A and B are shown apart, each in its own frame.
Chain A
Amino acid sequence: MSVLAYVESFKGKIKKNALEIVSYSRELAIKLDTNLVTIVLNVDDTSELNKHGASKVLKVTNSELESFDAKLYANVIAQAAKANNSNYIVLSSSLDTRYLAPLLSIELEAGYISNVVELPSSLNPFTIKRTSFTNKAFCDSTIDSDIKIIGLSSNAFGISENNTEGLLEDFNPTLSEKKITINSTEKVSGKISIADADIVVSAGRGLKGPENWNIIEELAETLGAATACSKPVSDMGWRPHSEHVGQTGKPVATNLYIAIGISGAIQHLAGINSSKIKVVINNDPEAPFFKAADYGVVGDAFDVVPRLTEKLKAFKA
């Protein structure tokens, strides 16, 4: 028996969300009184994983795995799980990992629960808490199969450091044939993505036009935050679709979500609800978002935002 954590990387670097997966998996392994095994693809320096509690690191190095392929990746993780008798597999909620998770579930005949927010509350029957109804409720779910896959929500558990003596093992899986061809990839470079961001600064129709986004971008830059927008704003073409957050857009589960000039339609709130702290800046004190926020400023965005940015610059300095 062991817990297997899949560590995501991008261009040879371990992704930050993976450290949360390792931290969670370590606690899970302690609860189960077993070992934590991590698997990482095409990363040279894996010492960071030991710092967060990995007792064994499986290192896969193969140029065929340079670009993501859900089927191949799922198959590699399945081989690692079998080789290590892993009956618990912990995955993140990134788009790539959510893509491979159901394929892995079939390969291992494992029950899979996504959007998990806590450690299991009971081991027998194995019971774990997840979000449901687009963050409007929680649900205790049981997994009845021998092998269990846990998809952890982003920012649900946090990152902890636990220096551990680590065993490093080269793992050489056999690779199946690729069936899907990647013709091109477009990644916005130099800008932090909504999925990777600790802080998201989001703006809505209250900004009155795309030409006014400079104040949003400046605030985001000061905070090291990603920028996002409400649905009407992306529908009107003021901002790219990739920035649209909400029920039909991107989900956001960040530490701090700052909503500027967004009224807070229920579809928008559904998408951002699992963010920890929500701040609203809006000139309409009746905006529904104030009911869903932790902190609020009733005021004109064009007055408040530039002054907040200046104060934050001073605070950071």
Chain B
Amino acid sequence: MKVLVCISHVPDTTSKINFTDGDTVFDSQGVQFVINPNDEFGLTRAMWFKEKQNATIDVINVGSSNTEPTLRKALAIGADKAIRIDSEPIDGMFVSKEIAEYIKSNHYDLIIAGRESIDYNGGMVPGLIAGLLQINFVTNCTKLEIEGTKATFEREIDGGKEILSCDLPLIIGGQKGLVEESDLRIPNMRGIMQARQKPLEVIPPSTSSSKTKSIKFYKPAPREEVKLVSPDNLDQLIDLLHNEAKVL
């Protein structure tokens, strides 16, 4: 079984979010980048397929050379090969077209992406790739088993869950539940050393077009100081919620 895991290179959750160039570009100065958490759940699940079902795991990213440490980390966790499509990502459509082009000439049985990245939060890349390649697709995927050419999986729905099945090839938008947080792996020294020897293929972008552009970023207005209510005066809290906030 051949598995491709799409890796988004994102600022760590605790990073300060600032913008530069007249608020048109994310300011990456001093920011620690990590594997997108939703992708990391998927990558860790893929490692299970590698160890138990002999799968080979490739990881792919669309980005500049700045994203290579993130791909190396994925290799150190245990992926076999990394592919970087050498282009700044413009929007979800651009990234999806680039990845879909690569998949067209390199067959995969299973493609794992995260339900969304924690930076642009578009939540569309796995679905767009599925649409472009006309393959089966599920998002908010919280469990995944593969047997032969059949996949059985769980999807989170509003207020519950669904168990589904379909034939491979399949692309999923994964999230926590595929594995638990405690299953996530920190690369050990041996993994890090091995990762240096593993192939990291850099390929030029095809000529994908985008359909949307992020033109200006801004941060929310600083919020007002919290209004503290004494625990002995809860009527005041109800009054504020009713008359001032108008949410009761």
Contact = CB atoms under 8 A, between A and B. Distances in A.
Interface of A: 68, 70-71, 94-96, 98-103, 105-107, 110-115, 127, 131-134, 136-145, 179-188, 191, 193-196, 198-199, 223, 231, 235, 241-242, 244, 247-249, 255-256, 266-267, 270, 276-277, 279-280, 290-300, 303-304, 307-308, 311-312, 315
Contacts of B78: none
A114 B17 contact: no
Contacts of B235: 311
Contacts of A195: 158-159
Contacts of A295: 226-229, 237, 240-241, 245
Contact of B241 (A131, A139, A266, A277): A277
Contacts of A182: 162-164
Contact of A103 (B122, B127, B223): B127
Contact of B162 (A132, A185, A277): A185
B226 A256 contact: no
Interface stretch (B62-70, B134-142, B196-204): B134-142
B47 to A, nearest CB: 18
B241 A102 contact: no
Nearest to A113: B212
A106 B132 contact: yes
Query: DSSP majority for the B interface?
Result: mixed
Nearest to B211: A111
Category for how many chain B residues contact A: 35 or more
A298 B120 contact: no
B62 to A, nearest CB: 16
Nearest to A309: B234
Given A132-B121, A183-B152, A298 B228 contact: yes
Interface string B152-174: 10001111111111110000000
Given A103-B131, A137-B219, A183 B165 contact: yes
Contact of A188 (B131, B140, B160, B180): B160
